[in-house]
Structure 1
Amino acid sequence: MSFVARLLAAFSTALILFAATVSNAIGQKKYDTGASDTEIKIGNIMPYSGPLSAYGVIGMTEAAYFRKINTEGGINGRKINFISYDDSFSPPKTVEQARKLLESDEVLLIFQSMGTLTNAAIQKYLNTRKVPQLFVSSGAVRWNDPQNFPWTMGWQPNFRDEARIYAKYILKENPDARIGILYQYDDLGRDYLKGLKDGLGEKAATLIVAEESYDVSEPTIDSHVVRLWSLKADVFLDITTPKFAAQAIKKAAEIGWKPLHILSNVSSSVGVVMKPAGNEASQGIISSTYVKDPTDPQWKDDPGLKAWSEFLDGYYRDANRADPGVVYGYSVAQTLVHVLKACGDDLTRDNVMKHAANIRDLELDGLLPGIKVNTSATDFAPISQLQMMRFKGDTWERFGDIIDSDGRD
């Protein structure tokens, strides 16, 4: 064989070896702690006990949905190992459970942990460790800060923008309002408060007659409601979580106070808040939504809620089907499954965040028609649309158009 022929043969062999190497590299599976050929470990922290235990249903729904996914073969052949702990809505306990999930259970990511104060307590820790804190169950603005916290992402519309929508509504319906505000003394309440004042603009100083804050450790908020009534407020902005929302509605009815009552959408559950507070006392209350109300007859033949109902039949028979938290948990679990499927065989934490920040017009069974999930590398707010609703009879009636959560129609 001539020298040229030998050289060409050697070159051809090198090309074949190079191509094989590149092919292997492209097809190679990549894992971080918490992922393998057979499973994906997902960590979660919920207030299954304590003042916000009503939200525990969200974690139970998510666990049930992941059981469904596993029964159907998992995600790209891998089963989800969903590890969920109770923190009683106590930030120190949240920190303890987060460390346990990372350092003992060795999860791939923390998903959908509940609460503003509680997630704030672990945000820096998770970002320092470069662990996804994905689809936080809170509407605080701080979850949409990819520049400073690139490993944290929210899911639902944020509280500040929701309050701007309420401000717009108040200015239209009662431009000379006397506004009394009851808010939870944490980031949840402060975000709503800022959003309302931003929305009212210069009129905030004259329209707001009182701001009453409460702590979740208080057994009752009756005295705060009475004070707002005594100041002759004719608009009641009720920024409370479910237990306290029911109390506020009851107390307002007891003292004969009938303001324009606007309730934060985190407490709009018919089964958990409105019915316990009393249907008569709840009439006319205003709120907003982005998920379908399973008690609303208009969704009787809706394909999305039919799929949700079939899921409950098979995996969560004890669920309270009147609780929108069950629709919420189902929908956000679907979002995570979408992201993990998109990751393919690259189940690194970096790739999870990459795909979480690249969701395009995702439609979910439980979201209102026209509301879609969208994210980007500079926008960590997956849902940014709402629709107003009014409580009438024994259910919510939606009105008006879908509104972008920054207040633009």
Structure 2
Amino acid sequence: MNERSLAVWTFAAASLLALGCKKGEAGAEKKASALSEPEIKIGQTMPYSGPASVYGTIGKLEAAYFKKINTTKGGVGGRKINLISVDDGYSPPKAVEQARKLVEQDQVLLLFQPLGTPSNVAIQDYLNTKKVPQLFAATGATRLGDPEHHPWTMGFNPSYQLEGSMVAKQITTKQPGAKIAVLYQNDDYGKDYLKGLKTGLADNAKMIVAEATYEVSDPTVDSQIATLKASGADTFVNIATPKFAAQAIRKAYDIGWKPTQYLNNISASVGTVLTPAGLDKSVGLVTVAYYKDPVDKQWDDDPAMKEWRTFMKEYYPEGSLTDNINVYAYIVAQTMVQVLTQCGPDLSRENIMKQAANLDFAPDLLLPGIKLKTSPTDFFPVEQLRFVRFDGKDWVLFGDVLSVN
């Protein structure tokens, strides 16, 4: 979805939701009594269908993790977690429809991990107007970490601008004469990352010799890759979601283009991206990481990874043990439980946001030296990253922990 289309949908969504606000106020009155119910009702929109359906495993794993917490610990504070996870097809208007239903009919306490930049942007103003937490949104969009203007919204992923800036600094340090080609999704997600890349390049932005975009409705990005190769670029920054990232990696190899390749973190899964692209065709790819990869042999005897595998076999046996997205989802679910635990008996929406904005938490599946930290003025939990390079089997760490500070 391009920027103009997104703007139209956002305007339409705002208009539609405004019409229902008065009706929704009655539902809000009921919400106070819902807080005393013997469960913690949480809503979620997830692309179980559509062009980003590979991410559907996130919602499934998080539901499985909450089931584990309910089974082994009786929930949080004696109240079981009820996750209502619904399909939005990676469609902003559908996300709006589902978010409104979750808030006004299902009367959820908060929305947890709604996925995708376009969908999160579409529901952001509505949730903030209703003062419903939009917590740990599964996107790195910069606008989802703006407590001054949207105090009820907090993302989880590293800021796309931060990641893009770090990649830029790596290129200028290691490849000062590089000619850069960029593929990016034509929406807020792709443009946010590209902005970070250009900001990081600063006076060296002229190193970018070619840019190509794609729409989520496109069947392939083959023609874009051919165009980028023709530019003479020797460095390729791949800002794409899994389906298109895999296509780009495979096509570049098949047409004999062998640039230094940087892949955005959200598509760094060996199981769902590099394997479909071809492991042999992915050798040398560079990305950033902040949590342990399940296919990396160095973590085979790691207690946290063993615990994760045990969880997968017992609570989510259909989930892939080679998909790092399932590690990501596990960490975010742990973080949600941490916030609820910090809330104690006060599970008001205000206190949930207060506790989310006071995190100092290091789940064991994060890479050593990395932790999640937030404050009332810093709504980005992940601001430390490490570079990794794919050797044909594993992502191999190199360099030190990089921090925004």
TM-score under structure 1 normalisation?
0.90
Match of 1:266 in 2: 266
Q: For residue 33 of structure 1, report the CA deviation from its aligned partner.
A: 6.0
CA distance in 2: counterparts of 1:120 and 1:203, whole angstroms: 31
- 1:350-372 residue CA offsets vs partner (Å, 9 max, x unmatched): 01111111112x11032111111
The answer on whether the counterparts of 1:90 and 1:118 sit within 8 Å (CA) in structure 2 is: yes
| Structure 1 counterpart of 2:347, one-letter code | L
| Structure 1 counterpart of 2:233, one-letter code | A
Match of 2:377 in 1: 378
Match of 1:38 in 2: 38
The answer on whether the counterparts of 1:32 and 1:108 sit within 8 Å (CA) in structure 2 is: no
| Structure 1 counterpart of 2:215, one-letter code | D
Unaligned runs of 5+ in 2: 1-30
The SS at the match of 2:137 is coil
Match of 1:186 in 2: 187
1:294-309 aligned at under 5 Å gives the runs: 294-309=294-309
- Over aligned residues, Cα RMSD in angstroms? 1.0
Higher mean Cα deviation, 349-358 or 298-307? 298-307
Q: For residue 80 of structure 1, report the CA deviation from its aligned partner.
A: 0.6
The SS at the match of 2:321 is coil
Q: Does 1:319 align with 2:319?
A: yes
| Structure 2 counterpart of 1:383, one-letter code | V
Match of 1:6 in 2: none
CA distance in 2: counterparts of 1:401 and 1:118, whole angstroms: 34
Q: For residue 37 of structure 1, report the CA deviation from its aligned partner.
A: 4.3
The SS at the match of 2:373 is coil
The answer on whether the counterparts of 2:297 and 2:394 sit within 8 Å (CA) in structure 1 is: no
TM-score under structure 2 normalisation?
0.91
The SS at the match of 2:64 is helix
The answer on whether the counterparts of 2:294 and 2:324 sit within 8 Å (CA) in structure 1 is: yes
1:4-403 aligned at under 5 Å gives the runs: 32=32, 34-72=34-72, 73-204=74-205, 206-360=206-360, 362-403=361-402
The answer on whether the counterparts of 1:214 and 1:221 sit within 8 Å (CA) in structure 2 is: yes
CA distance in 2: counterparts of 1:245 and 1:151, whole angstroms: 32
**Percent identity over the alignment?**
56
Segments ≥4 residues shifted beyond 6 Å: none
Q: For residue 35 of structure 1, report the CA deviation from its aligned partner.
A: 2.9
The answer on whether the counterparts of 2:287 and 2:388 sit within 8 Å (CA) in structure 1 is: yes
Q: Alpha carbons of 1:33 and 1:47: their partners in 2 closer, same or farther (altered >3 Å)?
A: farther
Q: For residue 32 of structure 1, report the CA deviation from its aligned partner.
A: 3.7
CA distance in 1: counterparts of 2:34 and 2:221, whole angstroms: 43
The SS at the match of 1:220 is coil
The SS at the match of 1:311 is helix
CA distance in 2: counterparts of 1:210 and 1:33, whole angstroms: 57
| Structure 2 counterpart of 1:310, one-letter code | T
The SS at the match of 1:319 is coil
| Structure 1 counterpart of 2:365, one-letter code | G
Q: Alpha carbons of 1:240 and 1:213: their partners in 2 closer, same or farther (altered >3 Å)?
A: same
| Structure 2 counterpart of 1:227, one-letter code | T
By relative contact order (CA 8 Å, sep 6+), the higher-ranking structure is 1
CA distance in 1: counterparts of 2:55 and 2:234, whole angstroms: 30
Higher mean Cα deviation, 350-359 or 31-40? 31-40
CA distance in 1: counterparts of 2:53 and 2:33, whole angstroms: 31
